[in-house]
Structure 1
Amino acid sequence: MNYSPRPPIGLCLEMCPKNERQERERDGCLHYFEIMDEQKASRAYKTQRRVLADPNKTVKEYRRPAAGKELSSPYVLRPPAVLLSTVRYLLFNVWDSVTDGDPYHLSEAYLFVFDRLRAVKQDLTVQRIQGQLGAQVLEDALGFLLCAPYIVRDLPVEVYNEVLHATQVRESFSKLIRFYKENEKNPRESEFQALLLLYDLGNLDVMNRALKLCDGVKNAPKVQLAMAVNRAYLECNWVRLFRLVRRLDCMEACTFYRHLPCSRDKTLKTLVHGYSSKNCHFPLDFLTKIMAVDCIETVSEMCTRRGLFVSLNGQPSVIFFKSLFKDIGPERHGREVLLVENKKGERSWAEVMMRECEEN
C-alpha cells in the first residue's frame, strides 16, 4: 500500500515570509520595488549599501528546489487567500505603476512580477492546492502572462525571454485545465478555454479536447468565437480569420498577438498566388482592412519589403506578381492600435488582466 504524505498547509499570512525578508535585507538582495520609499532615491540604494525592506511591499521570490532552501515548511508557504492578494498587489501596485513609464522601469517591473508569479505558482504546487481555489490563482496569473508579451515586445531578449515566458504560460494552462476537471463549477472556465484555443492556434489536440467539453462551456460565445478563429486559421481563410479577430476583446487579442505576424505573412502569400497578374491592381485600403492593420502606410511598407510594386497614384494599390515576390518571413511584432489598444480603452492594464471594469 502506497503512502502519500499529506501536503503542507501554508501558514504565512504575508506576501513574503519574515525569515526570507530579513535574509535578503541582510544580503542586499532586495528589489527596487521592495525597499522603503524614502531610500529609493537615496545614495544608499544606488551604491548598494544596506537598505531596509518594506514589509508591505516585499514579495517572496522564486527559488529552485535544488538550491538547498526549505520550500515545504508551512511557515514559508502562503495559503490561497494570500496568494490571490499577492497577485493582485503585483498587478495593481507594481505593474500599473510603471507600464506607462520609461523602458528601464518597465524592464524592472516585468522581471519582478514574472519572478514573483513563479513563486506564487510554486507555493500552489507545494501545497497541492486544487479545484476552484487553485484555478482562481492561476487565472489571475495568466491574465498577466497573456497580456505582458504585447506590452514588453520591444524589451531586449535578456529581459523578455520569449521561450521562458511561453513555458510559464503552457505550464499554467496545463495546471488550470486539470483544476477545471476537478471542479464542475468554474465561473471563468469558458473564458480561459477560449484563451487556450487562441494561444495554441491551429493545435488539433487542443481543438479536439475543446469539442469534448460540456455543452455549457463548449457553447459559450467566447469558446465558439475562438473555435471559429481556429477553423479559419486551419482552412487558411484569412479574410474570415481577421474579421473574427476584430471581435476579440483586449485580453483575447493579446493572446492572439503571437500569431499576428505569421497570419499576415500567410495572407500576403495567399493573395500573391491568387491575384498574380501585371494588370491586377489590388487596392491598398482594402488590403489594410483585410489584414486588420492600423494604417495604409504600414501595409505599403510590408508589400514593398517583399518586392511587390506599390502604386500611390490615384487609388493606392499593389500588384501581386509572383516573380517579384520575396519571401522574407513574418514582420516583427509591433504596436496594434485597432486590435489591442482601442479595445483596452481607458482601463489600466491591471484591470484588463484581472477582467475588471469589463465593457459590455
Structure 2
Amino acid sequence: MMGRFKRENRSQARWIMGGVSKGRGIGKWRKPRRLEFGQTGARVCPSSPRQDAVPRFRWPGDAECASSTHTPAMSGCKLPMGLCPDMCPAAERARRERERRLHRLEVEPGGRGNAPRADPRRTVKEYSRPAAGKSRPPPSLLRPPPVLLATVRYLAGEVAGRGDVSCAEVASFVADRLRAVRLDLSLQGVDDADAATVLEAALATLLAVVARVRPEETRGAADPVLLQTQVQEGFGSLRRCYARGKAPHPRQAAFQGLFLLYNLGSVEALQEVLQLPAALRACPPLQTALAVDAAFREDNHARLFRLLRTLPYLQSCAVQEHIGYARRKALARLSRALSTPKGQTLPLDFIEHSLALDGLQEARDLCQAHGLTLDKDRVVFLRGQYSEEGLPPPGSYHILVGSKLQGHSLEDVVMAEEDNIHRPGSPA
C-alpha cells in the first residue's frame, strides 16, 4: 500500500518549498548569497530555459540605438519637432493603400476585400528601418509627443483587446507600431520628461499584449524572439532616458522594477538595479521586485508564489514567462524530497494552491507532464518517476495575471500613475 500523507505532512511539504523558515528570516529582502560581485565579475546562477534560448538582458547594439531616444546635445545640432497631427502621415496612408499593404486592423469597416481603404482613425505609422545615407524625415512626417502618446493610448485602448483577431497577431501589430513610436521620438528634440512619459506608456502596452500571447498562437502570426527583443529595446530606450534625467521620474521605480522582473534571474539585470541610487531602490515597487528576484534565486518557492499573488497587473505581465519554470523547480524539489519506493501522496489541491494554478485540472496537467502518477485527487511521488521533457505546460495564468486588472481597462493601467492602480494585499 502506498503511504498516505497525514495532516502533519502538509507542513513538511510547505517546509520543503521554503515556506517555513528555520533560523532565517524571510520577511525582508537581502542580497542573494549565491550572487557575488568582485573584481573578477559576477558568478552566474542557473537561468530559466527562456534565458538559455534567448538573451534576456543585453545592451543594444549601434543599430538598435537608432530606435532609442536621442539627445540633441550629443548630435551637435538641434533636432526638429514633429508636425504630423495624425497617427499615420497622409502620404504613408496613401502609399500603403496603393500598394495594398494595409493591416486588417487599419482598414475601413465593411470595405471591399479586393480594394481595402485606409481608415485615418485606425491607420498607424509602421516601422521603417533607417537606412545608411538616407536623409532624416521632414517634420511633417514625424509625430510630436502628444500625438505619439495618443497613438499609444489608441493601441492600448482600441487594439490590444480586440477579440476578432488572435492575440499573437495583435502583439505583432502593436510591437511594430510601438517600434515606430520610439523611432519618431528619437528623431526629435524631445524633453526627457516628455520622452519618458511616451516610452513608459509604450512599454507598458507592449508588456501587456505580449503576455496575452499563448505559445500555440505564435506559429506564423508572431515571432516570440522578435517580441522579446522589442521588449528589451523598449527597456533600453526608457532606462537611457532615465539615466539622462536630473531627477527621478514619477514612475521610474515601477519601471525599473518591471525591468528586473522581466529579466528575473539575470545577474546583469540585478547588477544594474543594485547600482541605482539608494533612494530609488528604497521605493516599494523596486523593493518588491528585489524580493521576488531573491525568492526566485534562493528557490524559496512558497515565498515566491505568495509574492507573485500580490503583484499588480503590469508587474505580473513582466514576470509571467518565468512562472512555468518556477513551478517546475518547485515540483522537482517536492519530488526529490518526497519520492519513496512505495510512493507517498500529496493532495492535488495543495499543489494547486501552493503553485497558484488555475484549478485542479492545471495541477493534473503539470504533474502528468513531469511523469508523476495520479491517484484520484492526489499525486503519487514514486522514486525515479519524475522527468522533465520540453517546456513546462502553458497555463492560463488567470490567478497570477489576468485577474489583476480588477475591472480596469488596459488603457487605465498604461496611462495612469502606478500608485492609482489597484494593488492586491501584502503577502502573508
The match for 2:106 is 34
Q: How far has the Cα of 1:247 moved from its partner?
A: 1.0
Amino acid at match of 1:77: L
CA contact (8 A) 2:81 2:190 kept: no
Counterpart amino acid of residue 87 in structure 2: M
1:107 Cα deviation after fit: 4.9
Change (3 A) 1:107 1:319: closer
Paired residues of 1:265 and 1:329 also in contact (CA < 8 A): no
Match of 1:266 in 2: 329
Q: Which residue pairs with 1:325 in the alignment?
A: 386
Report how far residue 108 of structure 1 moved: 4.6
Partners of 2:101 and 2:361 lie apart in 1 by 48
Could you list the structure 1 runs, at least 4 aligned residues long, displaced by more than 6 angstroms after superposition.
Answer: none
8 Å contact kept, 2:152–2:205 = no
Query: TM-score, length-normalised on structure 1?
Result: 0.88
Please show how residues 128-147 of structure 1 align to structure 2 within 5 Å.
129=190, 131-147=192-208
Pick closer, same or farther for the CA change 1:111–1:126 going to 2, 3 Å.
Answer: same
> Paired residue for 2:45?
none
User: Which of 87, 95, 100 is equivalent to 1:23?
Assistant: 95
User: 1:303-318 residue pairs with structure 2 within 5 A?
Assistant: 303-312=367-376, 316-318=377-379
Conserved 8 A contact 1:34-1:53: yes
Note the 1:202-213 alignment, pairs <5 A.
202-213=265-276
Which residue does 1:335 correspond to in 2?
396
State the identity as a percent. 38
- Taking the aligned partners of 1:140 and 1:16, their CA distance within structure 2 comes to 18
3-state SS of 2:400 partner: helix
Whether the aligned pair in 2 keeps the contact of 1:294 and 1:336 (CA below 8 Å) is yes
C-alpha offsets along residues 235-265 of structure 1, whole Å, 9 cap, x if unaligned? 1111211111111111111111110111111
1:286 matched to 2:358? The reply is no
- Aligned counterpart for 1:122 among listed residues 183, 189, 198: 183
Are residues 1:77 and 2:142 paired?
A: yes
- Matching residue within 251, 254, 259 for 1:191: 254
Q: Counterpart in 2 of 1:155? A: 217
d(CA) in 2 for partners of 1:223, 1:3? 33
Contact kept in structure 2, 1:71 and 1:77, CA below 8 Å: no
Question: Partners of 1:300 and 1:74 in 2: how far apart?
Answer: 58
Question: 2:39: which partner in 1?
Answer: none
> Higher relative contact order by CA 8 Å / sep ≥ 6: 1 or 2?
2
TM-score (normalised: structure 2): 0.75
- Match for residue 123 of structure 2? 58
Preserved contact between residue 264 and residue 330 of structure 1 (Cα < 8 Å) = no
Is 1:226 equivalent to 2:289 in the alignment?
A: yes
CA contact (8 A) 2:126 2:180 kept: yes
Provide the rounded CA distance (Å) in 2 between the counterparts of 1:240 and 1:17.
50
- Give runs of aligned pairs for residues 247-262 of structure 1, distance below 5 A: 247-262=310-325
C-alpha distance in structure 1 between counterparts of 2:252 and 2:229, whole Å: 21
Asked if 1:4 is matched to 2:76, the reply is: yes
Count how many residue pairs are aligned between Structure 1 and Structure 2.
345
Secondary structure at 2:160's aligned position in 1?
helix
Kept after mapping to 2: 8 A contact 1:103/1:155: no
What one-letter code is carried by the residue in structure 1 that aligns with 2:373?
Answer: F
Measured at CA, do residues 68 and 34 of structure 1 come closer, stay the same or move farther in structure 2, by a change above 3 Å?
farther
1:181 aligned onto 2:243:
yes
Residue-by-residue CA offset, 1:143-196 (whole Å, 9 max, x unaligned): 121111232214232212110011011111111111111221300001101111
User: Which stretches in structure 1 are left out of the alignment for 5+ residues?
Assistant: none
Distance 2:152 2:75 in 1: 34
1:172 matched to which residue of 2?
A: 234
